[in-house]
Structure formats: C-alpha cells, structure tokens
Amino acid sequence: MNMLSNLAPVPELYVSYDSAQKLKVEAASLKSHDLTPRQICDLELLMNGGFFPLKGFLSEADYDGVVENMRLADGTLWPMPITLDVSEKFAEGLEIGEDIALRDQEGVILATMTVTDRWVPNKANEAAKVFGADDSAHPAVNYLHNTAGKVYLGGPVTGIQQPIHYDFRARRDTPNELRAWFRKVGWRRIVAFQTRNPLHRAHQELTFRAAKEAQANLLIHPVVGMTKPGDVDHFTRVRCYEAVLDKYPAATTNMSLLNLAMRMAGPREAVWHGIIRRNHGCTHFIVGRDHAGPGKNSQGKDFYGPYDAQELFKQYEDEIGVEMVDFKHMVYVQEKAQYYPANEVPEGDTVLDISGTELRRRLAEGLEIPEWFSFPEVVKELRRTRPPRSQQGFTVFFTGFSGSGKSTIANALMVKLMEMGGRPVTLLDGDIVRKNLSSELGFSKEHRDLNIRRIGYVASEITKNGGIAICAPIAPYATTRRAVREDVEQYGAFLEVHVATSIEECERRDRKGLYKLAREGKIKEFTGISDPYDVPENPELRVETEGSDVDNCAHQVLLKLENMGLIAG
C-alpha cells in the first residue's frame, strides 16, 4: 500500500537540472520514439508523480497484474495499463536493456527509458478485462485496436523535462506544486472534482455542497489532456471554468488543470482518478453517477451500470487513500427558484432540467438557454465556440463523372451563396485543384486518392474556420470520399451531392472531347470508360441533370442546406 501524507512531496522521476542537461546531450545518440499525444500525457504524469508509484511504462508482469486484477506485480493497487505502444518495426530493432529517447512531436527529448520488457499484448483480453468488452464503440477499445501500436515496451523512465504547454500556464500544477500550495494556504481537507464538461449551475451547487458536507476546501480539477472524442475543446472549457470559479465564496475553492489522457473506463477509471488526486494532495474525491462513462456500446446499451464506479471506488477506498464523496444529482425546483438534490425535492413541486443533448440542440439552433440553467458568461463562451448551424462552416462535396455537370452546378451554387453573404465561399473544382494543388498528379488510384485527400484537407480547414467549401472532383472511390467526410465532420457538416448523370449522357455531351479520346485509347484510366466509379450509396442529395437545368439543380442543393439548418430560410 502506498499511503502518502498530503503534506509531504510525492516522488518524481526527474533528474536534477544539471544531470538533465547532460542526459539530453547523451540521449541525442539513442534510438528515438516519437511519443503520441496520449503517451505525452501519460509521460507527464509518470514524471511528475501524478501516477505514483509507477516508475515508468508498465513491465509485462505489471501489465498482466493490472489487466487481470488491478494490481502491479508487487500487489499495489493500480487499475489502468500505462503502456508504451510502438510499431513492430521500431520494437524489432531494440535490445532488451537498451536506453531509448522519448521525444515529443516536435522532437524535443523529454525522457529516456530503459527497455526491460517487450511483448505483443493480447488486446482483446485487455479490452474485455479493463474496459468491460471488446467492443470498438468504446473509445479506448477503438484506440487500442486502431491507433495503438502492436507491441508494448516497458521499463523505468528518467525524466529530463516536462512537456511544454503554452496555454493556461498559470493554471497548470504538478502534484508537488499543488501540495506546496495547499500547505501554504493551510488547506488540510481537499475535495477534488473531476470534470471534462463545461460547468453549469447544478455542478456549482453540487460541488459546493460536497465540499461543505466533507468540511473541506474544493479543488476543481478538470481534465485538459485528452477526453472523449466530440467533447467541448479544453480552451473553451477553461474559459467557462474561470467564469464559474468566481461564483464560489472567495478562498473556499481553487482550480487546477490536469493533463490526463482519459480512457473513459468507468469504474476502473474512477479508482485511477482517485489515486491521481491522492497524489495531487487531495483527501476527498467526488464520484458521480456513471463516472467517466463511455456512452453506449454497439448494442445501444450502457457499458457500465450507473453506480458501478461508486461501488468499485468504495471497495478500494482505503487503498486509494482518498475518501469518496457522493455526487448528488441536483435539479432546479421552479417554485423555490433554487437547486435541490433530486431526492429532496418538495412534493408536488416542478423540477426543471436540461439534458446534455437538449443543451447541444439549443446551442446548434441558437435557442434560449435559461439563466436558471447556466451562468450567462458560460453560455456566452459556448455560443462563441459553437455558433448556431446557420453560422458554422460546412462542405458541399459534388461527385460524378467527367462532364456530368458538377462544375457548372458548383459554380451556380457558389454564386447563390455569395449573393446571400455571411460566410466566405471557396470553390475547389476538380480542374482548378489539379492546376494549383495537384499539378504533379496523374489518374492512378493512388494519385486520385492523394488528390481527393488534399481537397478534403483544405475543405476541413475552411469548414473549421467557419467558411463554405464547395468541392467538385470526380472522386470515384467510396472509401476516399468517406475519409474526406470524416476529416470535415470533425468541424462541421458535410453534404455529399451525387451528380447522377449517366455515363451515356456524359459521353453524348462530351463537352471537352475527352470521351472520344478515351474510347480511342488516347487517354488511359478514364473514369467510366476504362476506370471504375463507385456510385455513392447514401449521399445527402442526388441530382439528375437530364431533364432539369443548372439553376434548378443548384436550387435543390440550397433547399437541402436550408433543411439541414445550414442556411437561414
């Protein structure tokens, strides 16, 4: 058991400044592993004592113990595999006992690691035991199978320097910085509140109550490393937290940012969060309903029961070394104009609540968010980041044969959107792109894919920055179109429009004379003649050009955009 006083410093893995300078020079000649964003988060907490008692990435024996029964090989409680996953190629070239340099994404050496273990993990078993099911609907299982390398390396880490953060520097604290601060201000009992979401009035009420009940001070300890895909970005959230912090009585509450990469592992994650907070000097920890829940599995059911996390935490409370504080579900009681715990609402009174889904809908549609629900400063920040759909960027992606009418309709659409105004419009027409972005490319599958991925990248950047991208390439491959959709949908809507002119009609029109040349074999790999075209199965819109004019086709796209809430009606 590793009981730490919350007054003494927690052991770190850093060497002294002078040794670090020396080691940095020596490490330059070692084989290097470029850390992934998740590994950088893990390494930071390993080095600064946030993951105490770990001394490095898990060895195989520790990994087996953690996966099977949440314990390191020496019996210490540790619920989460902290592993250094690498490619087979990198692993192959290593000797056991060799030191490697661990670098951030810019190549800065953060640490060295002595490789004591190398093994190919049974990922299906890890998924089942740690996350409860080998189901890729779970974000961490998806990561395990589709992002993480095939081989794990384990061994002790020697810390050279912390990962560099340029944002919110004053709000980031190592465990020992927090411990020192608690000592300085005389905080002895500290309740930590873990969060990855913006805080609204109910959260403020429940955290304040939790601290009062535990007769403790409150530490808002949000995760700013990696959270669930699709969450509100941490920049926005931290601005929201700053606003909420002002609502607590002065000197009762503080906030510090935690660069943790969450796994959304529910019960095991709650235990892990507790240990991390103990290491940061906290004595109490709020565990709520469905703590660190990953959402629904592929059968549409919850991965974990709503109170599994609380139960597991309670079971290991002594070993974790922090006391669990129950999270009360707070609701607004209209008649009293006040928040109450859900189980203490006076009989007959009206309870008001807004779910996360409803909040997102109201933000997306620019509808009212009442003051009883959230603080005006928080709503203002959320609206700045998530403007209503009619002000967000989006991409219209035309696909179809050469000569189908894509460019003509795309041009008409561009002009109509510019007439409306409000957002900048960029046309990425097939021919224009091939002149400017892809002039070195031909028409092999590989080159077409590269061409389309480039268009997708530009469109996603335009979409991210609130503009309208209209793309009009042939884009014959369904998989590539799907990849572009995924790139864009991170930032805004993607509207696929199949310009469904038949190959016979395109050939009959032959506006550029290319079909004739293709038939004569003078142009090779010509789409529809000597090269494939995957007809889109579920485009948002299919337009027929035989029988309707360009103006009408462009108008159909506008109607669809209106219907999706992307342009005001």
Active site residues: 195-197
Bridge partners, 284 (sequence order) = 191, 323
DSSP 39: H
3-state secondary structure at position 118: strand
Q: Do the beta carbons of residue 191 and residue 247 sit within 8 Å?
A: no
Pairing of strands 190-195, 284-287: parallel
Q: By beta-carbon distance, which residue lies closest to ligand PPS? A: 430
Is residue 256 involved in binding ligand PPS (CB under 6 A)? no
CB of 515 to ligand PPS, least distance (A): 10
Complex with ligand PPS: residue 23 or 514, whichever CB lies closer: 514
Q: Work out the angle at residue 515's Cα, subtended by the Cα atoms of residues 513 and 521, and round it to the nearest 5 degrees.
A: 115
Is residue 536 involved in binding ligand PPS (CB under 6 A)? no
129 conformational bin, left if phi > 0, alpha if psi -120 to 50, beta if neither: alpha
Is residue 192 involved in binding ligand PPS (CB under 6 A)? no
Bridge partners, 32 (sequence order) = 101
Is residue 443 involved in binding ligand PPS (CB under 6 A)? yes
Out of 321, 405, 476, 536, the only residue in the binding site for ligand PPS (CB under 6 A) is: 476
Is residue 412 involved in binding ligand PPS (CB under 6 A)? no
400 among the known binding-site residues?
Answer: yes
Q: Do the beta carbons of residue 325 and residue 210 sit within 8 Å?
A: yes
Out of 514, 541, 557, 561, the only residue in the binding site for ligand PPS (CB under 6 A) is: 514
CB of 129 to ligand PPS, least distance (A): 45
Out of 474, 484, 493, 567, the only residue in the binding site for ligand PPS (CB under 6 A) is: 474
Out of 100, 527, 561, 567, the only residue in the binding site for ligand PPS (CB under 6 A) is: 527
The single residue listed with the structure tokens 């060295």 is: 112
Q: Do the beta carbons of residue 346 and residue 336 sit within 8 Å?
A: yes
Look up residue 341 and give its two tokens. Answer: 């715990």
Is residue 435 involved in binding ligand PPS (CB under 6 A)? no
Q: Which distant-in-sequence residues (6+ apart) come within 8 Å of 478 by Cβ?
A: 534, 536, 537
Q: Which distant-in-sequence residues (6+ apart) come within 8 Å of 224 by Cβ?
A: 168, 234, 237, 238, 257, 258, 259
- What is d(CA 536, CA 500) in angstroms, rounded to the nearest whole number? 9
CB of 493 to ligand PPS, least distance (A): 21
444 among the known binding-site residues?
Answer: no
DSSP 323: E
Nearest Cα to Cα of residue 114 among 80, 156, 79: 156
Complex with ligand PPS: residue 333 or 474, whichever CB lies closer: 474
Is residue 175 involved in binding ligand PPS (CB under 6 A)? no
Is residue 430 involved in binding ligand PPS (CB under 6 A)? yes
CB of 406 to ligand PPS, least distance (A): 6
Is residue 392 involved in binding ligand PPS (CB under 6 A)? no
Assign 3-class secondary structure to 45-80. HHHCCCCCCCCEECCHHHHHHHHHHCECCCCCECCC
407 among the known binding-site residues?
Answer: yes
Nearest Cα to Cα of residue 303 among 295, 315, 314: 295
Out of 219, 325, 526, 566, the only residue in the binding site for ligand PPS (CB under 6 A) is: 526
Out of 473, 492, 536, 539, the only residue in the binding site for ligand PPS (CB under 6 A) is: 473
Rg (CA), the chain: 28
Is residue 512 involved in binding ligand PPS (CB under 6 A)? yes
Is residue 378 involved in binding ligand PPS (CB under 6 A)? no
Out of 130, 475, 543, 557, the only residue in the binding site for ligand PPS (CB under 6 A) is: 475
405 among the known binding-site residues?
Answer: yes
Is residue 414 involved in binding ligand PPS (CB under 6 A)? no
Complex with ligand PPS: residue 26 or 446, whichever CB lies closer: 446
438 among the known binding-site residues?
Answer: no
Number of residues in contact with ligand PPS under rule CB under 6 A: 21
Phi, psi of 498 (to 5 degrees): -90, 115
Binding-site residues: 400-407
Binding-site residues for ATP: 400-407
- Using CB under 6 A, list all residues that contact ligand PPS: 402-403, 407, 430-431, 434, 443, 448, 451-452, 473-476, 512, 514, 523, 525-527, 531
